[in-house]
Amino acid sequence: MAVQIDETLVRRMARLARLRLSDQEVDLFSRQLTRILDYVQQLDTVDTEGVEPMAHPLAISNIDRDDQPGGRFDSERALANAPERRGRLFRVPAVLDQGSGA
């Protein structure tokens, strides 16, 4: 059974997403979403018995190395490339409002 995404549903989704769509966009998205759902239904018919689920299409392996302690950085070396600093500290933009209570 083919799923039909009509213009009413597209307009409702656009309103919920706070998107303004032209009539042409509503028509286009209606047709595109219908085609996407038709393709998903087609994929549902594929026999996947015995197929191992995968999280990624390519085989990936991490190459880890042992942590090796290195030399210490003095504050001047650590701050050498800092865009801004205040004395011996990194200066960063504020991330909380003054009235946030945090």
pLDDT tens-digit map of 4-46: 899 999 999 999 999 999 999 999 999 999 999 999 999 889 9
**Cα 23 from Cα 7, distance rounded (Å):** 9
**Cα 30 from Cα 25, distance rounded (Å):** 8
CA end-to-end distance (rounded Å), the chain: 53
87 pLDDT higher than 60: yes
Question: What pTM value is reported for the model?
Answer: 0.49
Residue owning tokens 């919920």: 16
Average pLDDT, the chain: 88
Q: Quick check: 36 and 5 in contact, CB under 8 A? A: no
